[in-house]
Amino acid sequence: MKESFSSAIEAVANFADIFHAKRIKNYYKTKVIDTVIDVGSHKGEFINLVCDDKIPIYSFEPQSSVRELLIDNTKNKNIVEYYDYALSSYDGSIDLFLNKLTSTTSTIPPNEKSYWVRFKKLILGGELLSGKESVGTTTLDKLFSGKLEESGAILLKIDVEGAEGDVLMGAENIISEYDVAYIQIESANYKIYSATKSPDALKILAKHGYHVDKRFLFPLLNFSDIVFSKVDRQIVLRK
């Protein structure tokens, strides 16, 4: 019963995501994007609902429980490679805190004091987590440094449930080295994760010359997707 209820809740979120993704896709239609790096692909929602069929995509998803669905759901897309790493600022391993709503699994434990977390636990029958899974970590710099020369304008989408700063810290070289034109991150509207020493994603983005270009509030109001673009790159394009 509890599993079917969590599936029903995820179905509601997926329905809302269709409307949400349509707005994001319309926004990107006005931009030049040649390559997508999708960090936190889950079951392929962003790839299917936002990305064009022919655009090259690098997909990252560490959850083993959704990997087969991800591959099956995106079989008609131009996936260059699927990676099962949890991207971070270092090589090693880390625990995933597996959420009954698999789209909210994170490397950061939930904040039990958060009213949003308490509400989620209530509607899920009192339990939010289903266990832990140890996964390997690496950095975007290690994987892609010296390998994206022909990739053109890159969209880096990061949906890692609170660990965006860690991913960005491990990507500072490629952000500087290549034309990472847009970086999209998910930002929770409530304090749903426990306090960590993770780097501040906004400070890293500002350091590299990015500013907020567009915000998209999710229909259920629990998070926003924020798109950042490079100020200096826009100036060059306008010239």
Domain CATH number, residue 144: 3.40.50
The pLDDT assigned to 234 comes to 47
| pTM of the complete model | 0.90
The pLDDT assigned to 8 comes to 66
The per-residue DSSP string of 130-162 comes to EEEEEEEEE-HHHHHTTS-TT--SEEEEE--TT
The pLDDT assigned to 176 comes to 94
Q: Which residues of the chain have pLDDT under 50?
A: 2, 234-239
The pLDDT assigned to 91 comes to 97
Q: Domain count of the chain?
A: 1
The pLDDT assigned to 238 comes to 33
- Domain containing 126 equals 2-157+165-238
The pLDDT assigned to 13 comes to 76
The pLDDT assigned to 237 comes to 42
